[in-house]
Chains A and B, each alone.
Chain A
Amino acid sequence: MSGPILSVRKLAVTFAQGGGPDIPAVEGASFDVGAGETVAIVGESSSGKSVTAMALLGLLPAGAGTVVSGQALFRRDGENAVDLLALPDRAMRAIRGRDISMVFQDPMTSLNPVLTIGEQIAEVLMTHDGLTRRQAQAMAIEMLARVGLRDPGQIVAHYPGQLSGGMRQRVMIAIALACRPRLLIADEPTTALDVTVQAQILALLRGLQAEMGMAIIFITHNIGVVAQVADRIVVMYSGQVVENAPVRDALDSPLMPYSRVLFRTVPTYDAVLARRQRLPTIPGHVPDPRHRPQGCTFHPRCAHFRPGVCDGFRPSLESARSGHEVRCVRWEEIARG
């Protein structure tokens, strides 16, 4: 594979608050996404994972006190890289929906309730691929069949309210994939769905990815889902990337104390067998973005905290081993045990 198709460097997003201090939602996030690769961004509330996605898509409200800085180099086939963060709105609109598309958690609020499913898919194709209405309708039916909906010829005439949650999410995926994007950004796409429907949607995404060769940024808080879909995990905590590693490496031997304990808090079937044993927990809670601690932002909750070492300066993301980055000054000592 020839280089990443997306290189995010020092992405920072700050929201101004009337009167109060600014909210640094994302503080210098850097990561790469290879062509055809699935990168899962994992984190809890206020980790900055969704804001990162919105920034990459150019969907943060311009002005209104929102400041986005850094670089996000996106390479389409055989073309020079464009910086998504520096593109004018018009150019961004041409990329969004065609080269990069997105699927969000709630399909009901993302679909237009007064347009038929067919019209909504056709709109994308007519806008980006210049198809005629008739061609676009035919293509819409084909896309609905691709995402596993039965009777696509009838579903094109339906309105979103007439479909179930799982069907609506399939429609969203059909719209997102209509123009064969190079990169799909999916923000909690299966969180609102039943586990069986979730399993189908994940299998569907995997299949379409293999077929179309697109890369996926998969944003989720569900580690179980990550284990099944991702090639690589980027763990975010309070606005920063704290660990970035291939999925098995990250899940089997995480280096950052936060990821180490986060992964263990997830209920597993093994934990079911240990009757009445308590789940591991992380003491305290995620810091308020306006008042993040000095030094490593995780230090007040960290079992490996050392005064004077962890609370002085913000650690930088360093390369621990091949393809495995960690933001912790003590990771080597901790790994040695």
Chain B
Amino acid sequence: MSGADLDPHGEVSVDRLALAEELAGAGAGEGAVASEDAAEYALRLGDDALVLAQQLGMWITRAPELEEDIALGNIGLDLIGHARSLLHYAGSATGRSEDELAYWRDEPEWRNAWLFEQPNGDFACTIARQLVASLYLFELYSALADSTDPTLAAIAAKSVKEVDYHRDHSTQWVLRLAGGTEESRRRMIRGVEVTWPYVDELFADDELTERLAADGVAVLPSTLRPAFESAVDEVFAEAALERPTGRTAYTASGGGRRGSHTEHLGPLLAEMQVLARQHPGASW
């Protein structure tokens, strides 16, 4: 074997597959393997991030202004980064890659909460969903950064810095739309109304989160609610908005954590997965 005519890449001992895993992996524990429970928890969080990222990507070329195309695209990109780390970790328990989890699971296998799969609606609806999502994720990752699971802690500590900018973005838009024209205010109020039914599911505890929280691995969702609500109230006070009450307040049944979804997830997955399923293993 002669080394003289090898191309510069020829001698590199870096395994492309291993690198792809490392890129997505937390690195807090090199090649860390998740327990079955931690993997299920990471799957929930990763699915929330990936589904929301896919939704935000749909705004590119359709937002009210060019800067907003870029903003929503950038926020989506951050979320894909979080999803990659979380799905990589989730897959470590069963030997599945992040791509297998993203592209080869059917609807009942997805664990995202219903909020994230709700349609974009008009811009105000998306902003209302972004406000809820970013304030919730900010509290979640702030708390999860202290997880006893070093991989989850590292992913959370990294993600919370980016989510901080996302909540800034959604807050600014809520203030602008609510305090803008009569029409923008009407739409903002409507956006809040259609989003609110999906808030409760985010803070619902179940056996898995109770087990994991007892070990300090997960954050019990219900414990995040007071901080979330005070952040919402702070924004709404500034924007002269109110949380829906009475006739406009209701709660969707939820069930995303068990794999039961609304009619909106199927088409979203179809669009996201079609290319990978038509050309398995393709790269470019």
- Is chain B found bound to chain A in the same assembly? no
What residues make up the interface of A, taking CB atoms closer than 8 Å to B? none
